[in-house]
Amino acid sequence: MGELLEVYEASTSASLAQYKATHASSISDVSGYWSELAKSKLTWFAPFSEGLSGSFEEGSVSWFAGGRLNFVGKENETAIIWEGDEPGNVKHISFHELKNEVCKIANALKSAGVTKGDVVTLYMPMVPELCYTMLACARIGAIHSVIFAGFSADAIADRIQDAKSKWVVTASAGSRGGRNLPLKTICDAAVKKDRCVGVVEKVFVFDGKGETGSDWEVQDIHVKMTELVAAQRPVCSCEWMDAEDPLFILYTSGSTGRPKGLVHTTGGYALFAMHTTANSFGLSQQTAASTDGPKDVYACVADAGWITGHTYIVYGPLLNGCSTLMFESTPMYPDCGRYWDMVQRHKITVFYTAPTAIRSLMRFGDEAPNKYDLSSLRVLGTVGEPINPAAWKWYFDVIGKGRCAVVDTYWQTETGGHVITNLPGITPMKPGSCTLPCYGIEVVVLESATGKEIETTEAEGVLAIKQPWPGMARTCLGDHQRYLSVYMKPYPKYYFAGDGCRRDKDGYIWITGRVDDVLNVSGHRIGTAEVESALVAHMAVAQAAVVGLPHEIKGQGICCFTTLTDGHTESDDLIKELRQAVRTQIGPFATPDMIIPTSALPMTRSGKIMRRILRKIAAGELDSLGDTSTLLDPSVVDTLSKKVEQAR
């Protein structure tokens, strides 16, 4: 990914120098900076006594201790614009309606026994009820654990078991891109698994579109949620939460097999979500608290099942009193003009998507976007993976007509919100760079081998954060040691993000990708170990090694090398079966791009699989294999590269 030499100047008078001064003062006293904001932006039932306390090293970071709060919203403005799977199937939901629906669902959950501190698993389509239920949990102090609707029954069961979640909320079915999503059927399969029996007490099922899935009578744990909610009063007092009480957990992939449930807190997360949404998209002047002037129509077209949806569809915009669009469909349905049709119909001003979507739409050329009026757009956002300069330029020129800022927002499930991004109208842009740290975030580049901070502006190493920030995840549910060992111990006194990066002469950050065994496939984070364990669970597989593969649209694809157990031979059918095994254990979004059965993997003499070599073989970069002298049998390189060539 080459760096373009162009720098795109910001278009307003707000200057980079001002940004630098504000940033420097924010990190000189992070506790003071965030405390001031917390006092002015959030409504506190009881004030907090302290800003920041605790440290990375002890894993004891706490923000706004002693403060108590919950979220209180505005009344008549539009809160949610919901765009269903079929274009034009639109609902406008005001803050008043939102509050009523949230209260009714909160009462419904309470009437069934859900109490403060319980984990409620949500496996829902992208319908308003998903957002209502998340907020209903927040209102009564229950902890939501949203599972992306693309996960399989096995993956749901793992997460329910890990979180000991007594409550599950789903819908009879959903639809996406014209296809039926049989969510209740998948959920039923999950809760029937041994590891969930005795854990799950109730499955609340909203009426959804399409088929109802399995028989209602089969299990007495089902609750017809739409009926139960209709019977409730739209008034439910909120639970006053401690700032550090968990708001939600969200599972994400790491280097080892089990996904980890990252815990986000009420006060710190809310402030961070609110502040970064306003700043990164330049919303603050127009929407927060002010009723006059033009309003933003803000659209983040991610899925609420991932952190992007949590922070930038639900909490961030709504806490700012800004309307938020919820999009049920896909960029390709019914055709590749869907996004731009929506921009025209809703007069969207801020549009936020992922590089993979931009690349896949760019393939179809300029005709689709040119058919629509895109003049309402002001800011274009991208998230989830590095954006290649060609895709950046297409987004900037063809969608933004050269007038809009493209904000390249770098962050993670763990960070809760943006930590590095340009600010519209303030930071000059360089295509492919997420540019400079957000206010209150002290980003450093460390030498990967020694952990030494690199002081020179130009630097190459691993990305780390030097001081705590309010939106950071506080622990991994039930496994604080894992939290410490993944994020806090690799480089003591720093938060380690798991990404490599380069800092250029202007101090701009260029993310070079994960330095651990985590893949980024179409912006979805997948641990290679998870795919490997799905493969070795199949009786035909003896060993599996999974690596990333450069992919033009998805950024990375999944390439699996497997040795087979005695009595099994390579065949197309076997490859199909193995592909299916991964879909069943994780979900269709983790479907391998390439499966290469082989009689041997590149091993060191001490019996370790050399993944570095497999990555090169998968990428076809044989001239940069590096040192192969430790290989037990160097001939495997040749054999495997031929197989990869054939499979392409």
* Count of residues that interact with ligand PRX, criterion CB under 6 A: 21
The answer to whether residue 353 forms part of the interface with ligand PRX (CB under 6 A) is no
Residue 119 CB, shortest distance to ligand PRX, in Å, is 20
Q: Does 271 bind ligand PRX (CB under 6 A)?
A: no
Tell which one of 409, 475, 522, 562 touches ligand PRX (CB under 6 A).
409
95-111 and 128-140 are packed helices; what angle lies between their axes, rounded to 10 degrees? 60
Query: Using CB under 6 A, which of the segments 62-70, 408-416, 527-535, 613-621 binds ligand PRX?
Result: 408-416
Decide whether 63 or 411 has the Cβ nearer to ligand PRX.
411
Classify 638 as helix, strand or coil: helix
Tokens of 492: 């003591």
Min CB(150)–ligand PRX separation in Å: 13
Site string (374-393) toward ligand PRX, x via CB under 6 A: ---------xxxx-------
Q: In whole angstroms, what is the distance from residue 458 CA to residue 139 CA?
A: 47
Residue 443: strand pairing partners: 465
Of all residues in this chain, which one has the CB nearest to ligand PRX in the complex? 413
Binding mask 422-441 for ligand PRX (x = CB under 6 A): ------------x-------
Task: For the CB of residue 619, give the shortest distance to ligand PRX in the complex, in Å.
Answer: 18
Question: Smallest distance from the beta carbon of 510 to ligand PRX, in angstroms?
Answer: 9
User: Could you say whether residue 410 binds ligand PRX (CB under 6 A)?
Assistant: yes
Determine if 412 is a binding residue for ligand PRX (CB under 6 A): yes
Q: Is 119 in the site for ligand PRX (CB under 6 A)?
A: no
Half-sphere exposure of 102 (CA within 13 A, CB side): 25
Burial class (CB in 10 A: 0-12, 13-18, 19+), 343: buried
Q: DSSP state, 483?
A: H
308 part of the interface to ligand PRX, by CB under 6 A: yes
Which two structure tokens, joined as six digits, stand for 555?
A: 């950024």
**Closer Cβ to ligand PRX, 106 or 511, answer by number:** 511
Q: How far is the CB of 418 from ligand PRX (least distance, A)?
A: 8
Return the closest-CA partner of residue 193 out of 141, 153, 233: 153
Instruction: Please check whether residue 59 is in contact with residue 473, taking contact to mean a CB–CB distance below 8 angstroms.
Output: no
178-181 contacts: CB < 8 A, separation 24 or more?
178/85, 178/333, 178/334, 180/209, 180/210, 180/211, 181/125, 181/149, 181/210
Residue 41 burial (10 A CB sphere; 0-12, 13-18, 19+): middle
Phi, psi values for residue 468, rounded to 5°: -60, 155
C-beta closer to ligand PRX: residue 49 or 255: 255
* Residue 194, number of CB atoms within 10 A of its CB: 8
511 binds ligand PRX (CB under 6 A): yes
From the list 227-235, 240-248, 497-505, 608-616, the region that binds ligand PRX by CB under 6 A is 497-505
DSSP string, 345-392: HHT-SEEEE-HHHHHHHHTT-SHHHHTS--TT--EEEEESSPPPHHHH
- Residue number with CB closer to ligand PRX (409 or 528): 409
Among 100, 152, 170, 252, binds ligand PRX (CB under 6 A): 252
Is 530 among the residues that bind ligand PRX (CB under 6 A)? no
Closest contact distance (angstroms) between CB of 561 and ligand PRX is 23
Smaller CB separation from ligand PRX, 461 or 498: 498
Residue corresponding to tokens 């403005």? 77
Q: Mark residues 213-242: x for contact with ligand PRX by CB under 6 A, - for none.
A: ------------------------------
Distance CA 550, CA 496 (A): 25
Tokens of residue 52, six digits: 């920041």
Query: Burial of 370 by CB count in 10 Å (0-12 exposed, 13-18 middle, 19+ buried)?
Result: exposed
| 303 belongs to the binding site for ligand PRX (CB under 6 A) | no
Q: Which of 499, 517, 532, 593 contacts ligand PRX by CB under 6 A?
A: 499
Shorter beta-carbon distance to ligand PRX: residue 366 or 552: 552
Residues that bind ligand PRX (CB under 6 A): 252, 307-308, 383-386, 408-413, 434, 497-499, 511, 514, 520, 525
